[in-house]
Structure formats: structure tokens, C-alpha cells
Amino acid sequence: MTDDAPSSPYLRALERARALGRADGLLEAAAGPAGEAVLLGACCHGRGPDGLALLVWDGAGSAPAGVRLNAPAWYADGFRGALAEAERNRRRVPRPRPPSD
């Protein structure tokens, strides 16, 4: 484990959920049409809150209730953050000017 990794298994699970959301948000920004609204479901990859919690939880047994309740919100935060970052970057890129005649 690196020095930057959270020591709490709960926080590690929630950070994984945020990272999954960020990865999905970056993929959506790259693949989806620019400027269109993106519908965000409750969880990722077709999983409900329990499925997402199991995906990100690395502890023994089933994921604690706090992870099941909070992982979808952390996923959504990562997803929205990635979309916002991609939009800011898209706006920074200068558009080519049409040739002057």
C-alpha cells in the first residue's frame, strides 16, 4: 500500500467507487456527443447499490451498510467530475477559424 492510499477499508471502497465513476465519465465524454445531457443511473455497469458495494469492497464478507449506501454517491461524484473536466478541456481547445476569402 502506498502512503497516499487510505488506511480505512471503507474509504478505500468509496475511493474505488469514485474512480470507477471517473473512468466511466471520461469514457462517456470521449464517446458521447458533446454538450448533450447524460443520464446517470444509481450505479455503474448495470449493478445496483449492493452489486457496486461488492465490486469495490475488498474486506471479508459482504460490504457494510455504509459502503452500500454511499458507494453510488461516490460513483456519481466521480462520473460528474469527469464530465465537467472534459467539458472544460473541450472549451479550452481553440476551434479552427474558417478561411478568410
Give this prediction's pTM.
0.78
Q: Name the amino acid, one letter, at 32.
A: G
Q: Where is 48: in which H helix or E strand?
A: none
Write down the number of H helices and E strands in the chain.
Answer: 3, 0
pLDDT of residue 58: 87
Q: Model confidence over 48-81: pLDDT tens digits?
A: 889 999 999 987 789 999 999 999 999 999 999 9
Please give the grid coordinates belonging to residue 71. Answer: 458507494
Has residue 99 been placed in a domain?
Answer: no
Q: What is the pLDDT of residue 93?
A: 65
Q: Is 21 part of a structural domain of the chain?
A: yes
Say how far apart CA 44 and CA 11 lie, in whole Å: 18
- Residue 62 inside a domain? The answer is yes
Q: Is residue 101 in a domain? A: no
Question: In this predicted structure, what is the pLDDT of residue 39?
Answer: 67
How far is 51 from 45, CA to CA, in rounded Å? 9
Q: How many domains does the chain have?
A: 1
60 in any annotated domain: yes
Residue 15: its pLDDT value, please?
A: 97
Residue range 20-46, pLDDT digits in tens: 999 999 998 888 776 666 666 656 777
Classify residue 1: in a domain, yes or no: no
What residue numbers bound the domain in which 35 lies? 9-92
Q: What's the number of CA atoms in the CB half-sphere (13 Å) around residue 17?
A: 34
